[in-house]
Amino acid sequence: MKGSGTVPSVRDGIARVLAKRSLSTNSAFGLSRALLVLVLFLISPLLVIAQNVAQPAPNQTVAERRQADSVFLHIKQVLSGTTEGSTPIKEKCGFRFQSEIRRYWNLLSAEKQALIKSLLARPTLQASVLSPSGHFRVHYDTTGRNIPALIDNADLRLPNSAKAYVDSVAVILDHVWDFETRTVGYPSPPPDQGAGGGNEYDVYVLELAGSLYGQTVFNPEDVLDSQRPNPTYISYLEIDNDFIGYYTHGLQALRVTAAHEFHHAIQVGNYGFWQNDVYYYELTSTWMEDVVYPGINDYIQYLSLYFRNTAIPFNVSNGYIEYGRAIWGKFIEKRFGRDRMRRSWEYLSSMPSLQAIDASLREVGTNFVREYPEFSLWHFYTGHRADPITYFSEATLFPEIQPVDLIEFIPPTATISSTARNLSIRIFQLTVSGGGMWSDTISMVLTNINLVAAENSDDQSYNVLYRFTTGPADETYGTLVDGLKVKLEVSDPVNWKSIGIVNTGITLAAVNSPYPNPFLPGKSGGVAFPIDASQRTTVTLNIYSSSFDLVCSKVEDSTIQFGKQVVIWDGKNSNGSPVASGIYVYRIVSGDKEYKGKIAVVR
């Protein structure tokens, strides 16, 4: 607390929260129910921790204290409505808060758990209606601060429009149910066994005060199957009563919120809840908004913060970056169709998200390690560099990703030294000048693909070093443009992918040779052989042993990676068995063109 040298007790913290709650009905400064719940369930365990910062408990790790400090700071930001830079802070969805309840639940006393349960209990509102389909019961108030209303173009509430708003909620929810279950193919959420007055899915219309668009509430006691590592839950929705003060306003905001939160209900009710995979729940629900309502584009608001923070690992959540990662869904949808996202969720019912994504991609002959660098590359082609045909279809609406470092290259050498984390995306830029060479901008898109470390939540930072030269260089360097060569130095090269871009064209010579080379089966999905073609082409691929015995022969269609057509070999012989370690010779025939060379397989 500002101006205080001591940390208040948990009892004091709860008392202040409850005092604010008592003022909420008539005070403009009253906390919404969602914020109240957030403050209580976060501040209770974290103040217990904070009280012992000077002498931490013996079984409390540094990581736990750091996480506690981070979440505690977030509480203060939400309460003040600003970040440290005085930018308004808004959470799209309360799903992450639901996750935090479970993360800290066992640290709380029975008394505190009971208090939280009472605040998380289903709201009791004054009236309700059934949706036309009978799938939903929409609860609302006819008097008081929760009364719903339609709004006009000036964000002013329209008098006597509560029933019209509720009717709109019901119709929109019916559309969302039909689209997400029948059109897209997801299962419906499980019934709540009469918890809201019947087996209809319950939706509560509340004043959320511009803090949350809505939230899917799945309380710890509402578990359906607690024997699995990812328990399933019954749930209900809370949504705002007018959507004033949001990036997207009124009924348009209601539409994307319904699509978003209903998919959370599908997720926790059918596929279960993995504590460490909140990013994928939010990523998918935000993507689903654009599937159901492609013209609203509420997700665009999160891209600016996301594009400035791609150094954060793909599988990490922090309250905003996971919403921006909805573009992963758009990437998968464009490359493989939207059913591929659903398949990842079908796998997620029995395995964590990164494994599930990888398993779903393997069904179409690729994997996460191969696709994630391609996804990284797509980040570069946004804004004025947008290529909606090849990359993101709405990329002209996206911000441009900014480089981590921007240096001027003065011949003959230059270096860029930095760090990167697991499953991070980093872009470094070099402006070339002097000696009458070029007036070009060189961009290096660097992606970490250490899937194993990321799956183990090993949030490690690695040193990376780029060396550029116009002088003599050995075979470990790749050519960017005539006379300029580059080399990446990292401790574990197999876990990195570097793509060089001159101005806006991919020209790094390394992508003209097979990669990865050496090929480590199990760590990289396959060997990619670039070919000279502008579109998908059918080729003949032959793989020979070092003694020139034919190991594998197949006719294969090329696919696009990093802006080039490539042919993929999975490291198996013609019988489908993995080949042994060794040197292999490849021969690819594409029309009147032939490609030959050697690759190494290391097991």
Is residue 189 a part of any domain in this protein? yes
Q: Do residues 315 and 433 both lie within one domain?
A: no
At 537, list the tokens. Answer: 């082409």
Q: Do residues 537 and 439 both lie within one domain?
A: no
Where residue 591 sits, what CATH number does that domain have?
A: 2.60.40.1930
The rounded distance, in Å, linking the Cα atoms of 348 and 337 is 18
- Residue that is written with structure tokens 């003949």 in the block: 540
The amino acid sitting at 179 is F
Count CA within 13 A, CB hemisphere, residue 488: 26
Q: Could you tell me which of 41, 34, 24, 72 has the C-alpha nearest to residue 217? A: 34
Q: Do residues 86 and 19 both lie within one domain?
A: yes
Looking at residue 595, its pLDDT comes to 87
Q: State which of 77, 97, 116 marks the end of a domain.
A: 116
Query: In 448-499, which residue ranges form alpha helices assigned H by DSSP?
Result: 451-455
> Do 479 and 469 contact (CB within 8 A), yes or no?
no
Q: Do residues 261 and 369 both lie within one domain?
A: yes
At 159, list the tokens. Answer: 């008098």
Q: Do residues 456 and 566 both lie within one domain?
A: no
Model's pTM, two decimal places?
0.76
> Domain range for residue 465?
403-511
Is residue 74 a part of any domain in this protein? yes
Q: How far is CA 208 from CA 126, 213, 241, 301, in A?
A: 17, 7, 7, 19
Is residue 262 a part of any domain in this protein? yes
Is residue 1 a part of any domain in this protein? no
Is residue 163 a part of any domain in this protein? yes
Q: Do residues 44 and 187 both lie within one domain?
A: no
Q: Do residues 129 and 230 both lie within one domain?
A: yes
DSSP letter at 179?
Answer: I
The rounded distance, in Å, linking the Cα atoms of 316 and 301 is 19
Q: How far is CA 466 from CA 429, 443, 508, in A?
A: 11, 12, 14
> Do 380 and 501 contact (CB within 8 A), yes or no?
yes
Q: Do residues 254 and 380 both lie within one domain?
A: yes
Looking at residue 549, its pLDDT comes to 87
> Do 340 and 364 contact (CB within 8 A), yes or no?
yes
DSSP letter at 418?
Answer: E
Q: Do residues 234 and 364 both lie within one domain?
A: yes
Is residue 444 a part of any domain in this protein? yes
Count CA within 13 A, CB hemisphere, residue 286: 31
Is residue 247 a part of any domain in this protein? yes
Looking at residue 13, its pLDDT comes to 33
Measured CA angle at 349 (ends 345, 354), to 5 deg:
60
Contact partners, residue 78, CB within 8 Å, separation at least 6: 35, 38, 39, 89, 91, 211
Q: Do residues 234 and 344 both lie within one domain?
A: yes
Low-confidence ranges of the chain (pLDDT < 70): 1-91, 433-439, 482, 504-512, 522-525, 562-563
Q: State which of 485, 511, 537 marks the end of a domain.
A: 511
Q: Do residues 328 and 445 both lie within one domain?
A: no
Omega before residue 518 within 30° of 0, cis: yes
The rounded distance, in Å, linking the Cα atoms of 320 and 91 is 7
Cβ atoms within 10 Å of 463's Cβ, excluding its own:
11
Is residue 2 a part of any domain in this protein? no
Q: State which of 474, 496, 511 marks the end of a domain.
A: 511
Give me the number of domains the chain comprises.
4
Q: Do residues 432 and 448 both lie within one domain?
A: yes
Q: Could you tell me which of 152, 127, 74, 67 has the C-alpha nearest to residue 103? A: 67
Looking at residue 115, its pLDDT comes to 77
